[in-house]
Structure 1
Amino acid sequence: MNKYLLNTLIIALLPLCILCQGREEGFVRTDTLGKTKNIKFIGLPIAFYTPETQFGVGGGGQMFLLNNTNRYNQRLSNILFSGIYTTAGQIMFNVTPQVYLGKGDYFIDADYLFEIYPNSFWGIGPDTPEDNEEQYDQTTHKVQISFLKRLPPHLNFGLTFNFANHQITEVEEGGILASGTVLGSDRTVISGLGAVFNKDSRNDASAPTDGQYLRLSAQFSSEIFGATHGFNKFVLDLREYIPLGGKSILATQIFLENNFGDVPFQGMAFFGGSSSARGYFYGRFLDKSMYVLQTEYRHRFKPRWTFAAFGLIGSVAGDTEELLEFRSIKPAFGAGVRYKLLKDQGTWLRLDFGSGRDGQSGIYFGVNEAF
C-alpha cells in the first residue's frame, strides 16, 4: 500500500492539469498543441490507478470547437480520444465526441470504445465465494450515440443507439465460463435503441458543490438489430449536493439498475468500481438487478485541498423483488483527499481508499469526484 501511495504522490506532484473521462481514466493535460479561431487542440498524457486495471498510462488529445458552445452552461463542443495500456495487460482506445447544436438546444453525445481486457469472474449472484475467481480475456467493440433535446434550463431528453460486440478469447479450463452455462461465455452482441431523460442543475459537472442530477434511461437489446440476446435495461441515477456552510457539502446518490429477459453477463449490473461502490472490485458481484446508496461528506480545509469521507450500502439480485428484500447487503466506507491543480480551473486530483465486506478494499487514484 505504501508503494502505491508513493507512486501516486509522485504523479500528483507533476505540474500538469488532469481531466477525467470514461470508466477508469485520468487525463494529464499538457500545453496547447494547436489553436485557430475555431479549434483548440490539447495533448493529454494519462495516468491512473484502480484495483481492476492497476496502473494505467497512455496518451490522447482533446479538440475543442470554440464557436460551438452550449449557451446554458457555457460548455464547449469537443472530441476526446485516448489510448491506454495498463499493468494488468489491458489495452483501451476511446473516442468521445460531444457536440452542441443550436447553441445547446440539441446535443449529440457519442462514445466508441475498443478494448482488449483481461478480467476476473466469480460467477453470478450476490453470494459468490472468493475462491470462485477465474480469469478470462475479452475483446470489445462498443458504440453508443445519443441525440438529446434540451428543455431550458435543466431538462434533456432523447433517443440512444447502443451496440457492443464482446468476444471471449480465452477462459480458464474447467472454470464456470468454460462450462458454457453462462450466457455470453463465448460471444455476445448487444444492439438496440433506447430512451433517456435527465435533469442537471449542478453548478459543476466534474466536482459539483450544489444542485441536482437525475437520469432515467431505458435500453432495449433486440435480435432485430443483430443482438444475440434480447433483454431490456432500466437505470435510475439520482444525485443531490447540499451545501453545509461555506466550506462543506453533503453529496448523496441513489442508483438502481434492473435488467429483464435473456441477459448475458456482460449486460448485467456490475457492483463495485471507482464511482458507484468503492471498496469492491468492479464486477466482483453481478446480476440482473442492483442498487447502491451512497453518501459523501466533503470539506475544503484549504483553498485547494478537500477532505472526503464516504459510506455506502448496496447489493445485486436476480430480480427486483429479491433485490427489495435487502438480503446480502454489502457495506463499504472510506476516505480520501482532493487537490485542485490550478486556481482558475475546477479540476481536482482524487485519492481514495475504500474498504468493503470480507476483506474487500481498493485504492483509487484519478480525477474529479466519484459522483
Structure 2
Amino acid sequence: MKKLILLILISLFLIPDSYSQTKEDVIKSDTLNKGKKFQFVAIPIIFYTPETSFGFGAGAQIFLLKEKNIYNDRVSNIFVDFIMTSNKQFIVDVIPQIYFGQGNYFLDMSFKWKIFPNNFWGIGNTTPNSNEESYDMTSYITKVSFLKRLPPDLNFGFEYIYENHDVTKVQEGGLLASGEIPGSDGAIISGFGAIFNLDSRNNVGSPTAGHLLKINAQFSSELFGATQNYNKFIADLRTYQKISKHSIVALQLYYEGNYGTAPFQGLAWYGGGNRARGYYQGRFIDNSLYLFQAEYRYRFKPRWALAGFGLFGKVASDFKELANFNELKPSAGGGLRYKILKTQDTWVRLDAAIGIDGSSGIYFGVNEAF
C-alpha cells in the first residue's frame, strides 16, 4: 500500500501532457458584449446533500468584463447567494474574485454567514454510529487571499482567515456537552497563511485537461484573537487526462494536517459532496487526513456526461498513525452531469455514493467534485 501511494504521488507529476486539450475559455468570448463593463446573471439554486437534505435559494453573479486574466481568459466576478434547507439551515455567501494587472494579481475573497444545525460523532477514525448527537452553530467566516502570478502557471501569495463559531445548542449528556472537546463552547480561528499553487487547468468548475498543485500553510494565533494556537498544512494535487475523444480520468490526492490544539471546527473533516462522497461531511474528524479519489468522466453528448468514481482515505491524530494504512474509509459511486448553457462550461451534477458501515449519500449540485 505504501508503494501504491508513492506511485500515485509520482504519477500526478509525471503523467505526460500529450493527451491534454488546448485550453478552453472559462467564459466564451462570443457570449460577452465587448462594449459592456458588467454582465449580470441571476441563478436559481436547488441542491441535495446528506448534511442539508433539500436546499434551495437564489444567487447572482456579476462579471466584471474589463477585469480579466488574459493568460487563461478567466473573468473577475462577484457571486452572492442566499440559501435555506429543509434541515432549517440558513447560508449567505459573498465571493468576490478579482484580477488586476491583466491577471498578474488575483484577489480571492469569501464571506459566509450560516446558521447550521449539524451532527457530531466525536473525534477519531473509528467513532461508532451510536455516538451521533446533534448541535446548532452560528458561524461567520472570512477569508481574503492575494496572489501574484509567476509565469507561466505559478501563483504565490498570502491570506488572512477569520472564523467565529458560536455553538448555540448541544445535546444534553453528549460529547460536546462535556466541555472536553476544544470548540464545544464556541471558537474563534484567526490568523495568516501562505499559498502556493501551480494551476494549468483549462477550466475551474469542470476541467478536462491540466493540473493543479496547491500548497497552503496557515496559523491561528491568540495574538490575533483566536481561542487556540495551532497550525494547518494542506496539499491538494489534481490531474486531468484525456483518454479518448469524449472521456477523461481525473485524479486527486489531498492531505491536511493540524498541529497544536485546534478546535473541532478547525480539524480535518472527512466526507461531503466534494471530498469523500458516500460519507456525511464531518462523519470522521481528527488532526490529520488524507484522501485519494479517481473519477472517469464520459461526455456521450455535447451537454451530457456520465461519471464513475472510487476513493479511499482516513483521519488520524498524527502523521505516524495516518501512515498506517489500515481502517481505510473507501466509497464508490457514479452520477450524471448536464451542461446548463451551450456557451458556458457550468454543469449540474447528480451523484450517488456508498461507503462502509451503512454510509451513503446522494448529492445534487453544480460542477464537479474536484
Instruction: Tell me whether the two structures share a fold, i.e. TM-score over 0.5.
Output: yes
Letter in 2 for 1:338: R
Q: Which residue of 2 aligns with 1:141?
A: 140
CA RMSD in angstroms comes to 1.4
Q: Which residue of 1 aligns with 2:4?
A: none
Q: Alpha carbons of 1:37 and 1:247: their partners in 2 closer, same or farther (altered >3 Å)?
A: closer
Letter in 1 for 2:232: K
Letter in 2 for 1:174: G
Q: Alpha carbons of 1:342 and 1:61: their partners in 2 closer, same or farther (altered >3 Å)?
A: closer
Matching of residue 254 in structure 1 with residue 249 in structure 2? no
Give the TM-score of the pair, scaled to structure 1.
0.89
> Deviation of residue 65 (structure 1)?
1.1
CA distance in 1, matches of 2:91, 2:346: 23
CA distance in 1, matches of 2:341, 2:38: 23
Matching of residue 270 in structure 1 with residue 284 in structure 2? no
Q: Which residue of 1 aligns with 2:217?
A: 218
1:252-293 deviation per Cα after TM superposition (whole angstroms, max 9, x unaligned) = 000000000011100000000001100000000000000000
Q: Which residue of 1 aligns with 2:162?
A: 163
> Deviation of residue 38 (structure 1)?
1.6
Q: Which residue of 2 aligns with 1:185?
A: 184
| Over 3 Å off, 4+ runs | none
Q: Secondary structure at the match of 2:117?
A: strand
Q: Which residue of 2 aligns with 1:367?
A: 366
How many residues are aligned here? Answer: 339
Q: Which residue of 2 aligns with 1:93?
A: 92
> Deviation of residue 37 (structure 1)?
2.8
1:77-117 deviation per Cα after TM superposition (whole angstroms, max 9, x unaligned) = 11111111000110011101111111110000000000000
Q: Alpha carbons of 1:133 and 1:60: their partners in 2 closer, same or farther (altered >3 Å)?
A: same
Q: Which residue of 2 aligns with 1:197?
A: 196
Q: Secondary structure at the match of 2:202?
A: coil
CA distance in 2, matches of 1:304, 1:65: 26
Letter in 2 for 1:336: G
CA distance in 1, matches of 2:262, 2:281: 18
Letter in 2 for 1:263: A
CA distance in 1, matches of 2:43, 2:299: 27
CA distance in 2, matches of 1:341, 1:97: 22
CA distance in 1, matches of 2:355, 2:239: 24
Letter in 2 for 1:220: F
Q: Secondary structure at the match of 1:321?
A: helix
Q: Percent identity?
A: 55
Letter in 1 for 2:247: S
Residue ranges of structure 2 left out of the alignment (5+ in a row):
1-30
Q: Secondary structure at the match of 2:116?
A: strand
> Deviation of residue 302 (structure 1)?
2.0
CA distance in 1, matches of 2:64, 2:141: 25
Matching of residue 245 in structure 1 with residue 218 in structure 2? no
Please give the residue correspondences for 1:1-371 in structure 2 after superposition, counting only pairs within 5 Å: 37-371=36-370
1:216-257 deviation per Cα after TM superposition (whole angstroms, max 9, x unaligned) = 000100011010000000000000011101111111000000
Letter in 2 for 1:194: G
CA distance in 2, matches of 1:251, 1:346: 17
1:24-75 deviation per Cα after TM superposition (whole angstroms, max 9, x unaligned) = xxxxxxxx9xx98322222222111111011111112111111111111111
> Deviation of residue 345 (structure 1)?
1.9
